[in-house]
Amino acid sequence: MNIKQCPLCHNEVILGTALFSAELGEGVLIVKNVPATICPVCGEKWFDHETMIKLEAVADNARSRHALIEVVAFDAA
Ligand SMILES: [Zn+2]
C-alpha cells in the first residue's frame, strides 16, 4: 500500500506509528508502535500488507490463548 494523500480529507499523509486494536471474539487485542501511514489531520491510519500479516499472527496467538486483554508492542511481536 502506498498512500500519499488521505482519501477522506485529501491532506498529505505521514509515516509514523499507530495503535492497532482488534476484537478477538471474547477478548481484545491492542498492539502498540505499529508502523503505519497516518493522516495528521483526521487521524485515519493504514497498515501495509506485511504489517497486517504480522498483526494477524499476533491476533491468532492471543486468540489461541483465550486472552481477554492482550497489550503488546509491535517490535516484540
Ligand atoms: Zn485525512
The model's confidence at residue 57, banded by pLDDT at 50, 70 and 90, is very high
Whether residue 22 contacts residue 69, with contact meaning beta carbons closer than 8 Å, is answered with no
Contact 55, 20 (CB under 8 A): yes
pTM metric for this prediction = 0.84
Containing domain of residue 67, as a range?
14-76
Contact 35, 14 (CB under 8 A): no
Classify residue 4: in a domain, yes or no: no
Going from the C-alpha of 34 to that of each of 15, 20, 76, the distances in angstroms are 11, 7, 11
8 CA → ligand 1 middle, Å: 5
pLDDT tens-digit readout, 1-34: 578 999 999 999 999 999 999 999 889 999 999 9
Ligand 1: distance of its center to the CA of 77 in Å? 28
* Single-letter residue type at 10: H
Residue 8 located in a structural domain:
no
Going from the Cα of 24 to the center of ligand 1, the distance in angstroms, rounded, reads 27
pLDDT at 76: 53
As for how many domains the chain has, the answer is 1
